[in-house]
Amino acid sequence: METFLFIVSILLIVIVLLQSNKAEGAAQIISGGNSDLFSQRKERGAELVISRVTMALGLIFFIVSLIMDLM
């Protein structure tokens, strides 16, 4: 079980690093220079797949961690 959790955590780290940066330019966020920061951006293609895989891996990580804690 610990090996499976380790593999899921490594995959989760890699997939999070593959995600595109939704907030381009952190300095613009703080200064308010990015007016379209919170506009509706639809994920398409590879972004959508990466987002869903991230969500699934996060859920698996949470469930496996909870099961290991209860054992």
Q: Is 34 within the bounds of a domain?
A: no
What is the pLDDT of the chain when averaged over all its residues? 80
Q: Is residue 6 part of a domain?
A: yes
Which has more confidence, 13 or 25?
13
> pLDDT tens digits, residue range 32-63?
555 555 555 666 788 888 889 999 999 999 99
Helix or strand (DSSP H, E) at 60: helix 46-70
Whole-number pLDDT of residue 20: 67
pTM, full prediction = 0.69
* Total domain count, the chain: 1
CA–CA distance from 30 to each of 23, 27, 34, 37, 46 (Å)?
Answer: 11, 5, 9, 11, 29
